[in-house]
Structure 1
Amino acid sequence: MALRGLGRRISIGKRCFSSASEVEKRPRDGKQINLFSAINQALHIALETDSRAYVFGEDVGFGGVFRCTTGLADRFGRNRVFNTPLCEQGIAGFAIGLAAMGNRAIAEIQFADYIYPAFDQIVNEAAKFRYRSGNQFNCGGLTIRSPYGAVGHGGHYHSQSPEAFFCHVPGLKVVIPRSPQQAKGLLLACIRDPNPVVFFEPKWLYRLAVEEVPERDYMLPLSQAEVIRQGSDITLVGWGAQLSVLERACDEAAKDGISCELIDLRTLIPWDKETVEASVRKTGRLLVSHEAPVTGGFGAEISASIAERCFLRHGLQLEAPVARICGLDTPFPLVYEPFYMPTKNKVLDAIKATVNY
């Protein structure tokens, strides 16, 4: 496929945001790897520690388009790591059945842009399985992995961010990591969670994001946001690859004396309202940024919830309207991608406008 290989492998240093993570609080025992290698490590551990775990999807047998499943079939056999037909609805349906039989089904949708044929299976079957049976049956061992977001040259069909569709569905969890360290720990937590999970991987960072990742088995908590930068003037919230954009905007704002608090949501559903609310009650201002189109994006849910909770409470109030810096309400463009993306400068302008409101 045209998107095989996403440019040079480089370290982006602080942009991996390892300064305050749960993993760094433990003894170091890892080495520098990129995000797709961290995903690969997590899948190796999941298969090694649970004989009921299976990995399957289009082309996963030889490593997949982004090489996240490299070496799995050779180590664990073709009966546990195998290719499927090019049918996303079939992949999801098979995964639900496999999980319903008590297995750990780890299904890959090759690009999030092609998850829509599986939408009915995920939304009407996986999400409701436990509830329609009164918890007599469930498919809680189901994890659906899929690369999402901009890639630099993906155009209409390899750049979409469809997370908001699934955040609307009770019964699902939606998780998006920002770095290799986070990706490994969050993916293992998703695979072992007793609920079906959609795990979106920022393809932009597969090779660009490099940081020290422990080689051991570890998990990071779901539904717990992380404050990765303390500040006092404005709260910034994002997830996935957008965190690197927000971090650079924070650095620039600091030159003008603006102190930004930066939060990685990590789990979108159920999301950590308490952490975001506590931050906004301190700063009095909020900016949310994501690649998906602004209308109906998950940033709208965050904005509405925080407005309800923080508009006027115990003498504290929002000092300015909630700002959203997101993708445009257009199909994802190819030639005009730089205009579409929520960039550092767009975020910086919104920070200044919000603080000076």
Structure 2
Amino acid sequence: MVKIGQIELGEFPLLLAPMEDVSDPPFRAVCKEGGADLMYTEFISSEGLIRDAAKSRQKLDIFEYERPIGIQLFGGDIGNMVQSAEIATAARPDLIDINYGCPVKAVACRGAGAALLQDIPKMVKMTEEIVKCTHLPVTVKTRLGWDESTKNILEVAERLQDIGIKALSIHGRTRVQMYKGEADWTLIGKVKENPRIHIPIFGNGDIDSPEKALEYKNRYGVDGVMIGRAAIGYPWIFQEIKHYIKHGERPLPPDMNERVRATKKHLEFSIRWKGDKLGVFEMRRHYTNYFKGINDFKPFRMRLVEAPTEAEVLAILDEVVSTYNGTVVAA
């Protein structure tokens, strides 16, 4: 049984990665139903929380059915990160996660996210102060290092464990790589093999099929895997991985009825959380992913992204079901 503190996650937990502008409550709702064992909020700016910025505060919204769930924070100032961790703790998540992996320029150039990989003493000190300020388990998500010459994750894992984190998720790329090239899990496996490491180690990067999840589980010995982009528009990947690990074969992929059902659920929650207008508008970016690989779907997609109301979207989705009549599309 894999545990983060006292949180039990099963034998080989599947984690939904925190993704900016993706991992909001509506998206998390369909992924939880799809089998995600642990989820995180979108990453939240410590400065935004302290300034009481509406967008940052809204990201603190969590719901009972999502549990266990972590709130992920990022920032470059230790004092601000401690204060934001206290604010996040009051929102009653199950854990606090620190982002030391975001590679985007707007974050790294502010000394946050992956930028901390260039200042390990500061990373350790920041983490230590956050661990001290909250009663919740603290976890970290990071990368192999800043670039090819500074892949320091072996040292980072030991030092962060020693000051009290309860789990570590590692993305198998450096900051310089961004999301390009293939993720290298070799060092993730070496962290897990280290006899000094006793906290759960989760691997992240390029897990896009049940076959790869099982292969990496066996090859690198990780305690679980974190899935990001592969879950966008395909929340069924979690259940498919679990089925494949247990039975050695893939289940049937979702047919059109199931795809439409998940899309409707996502839309319903989007409207409930964001309001009628914004909920319909922000759902538009998801239609391509939910219906990826469907032959001759473009006319429906164009109508869906132009439909201004929930009623019109639902009518189009009903038309999709009747047109495709249970079509099954492989992932």
Above 0.5 in TM-score? no
Q: TM-score, normalised by structure 1?
A: 0.31
Higher relative contact order (CA 8 A, sep 6+): 1
More strand per residue: 1
More helix per residue: 2
Q: TM-score, normalised by structure 2?
A: 0.33
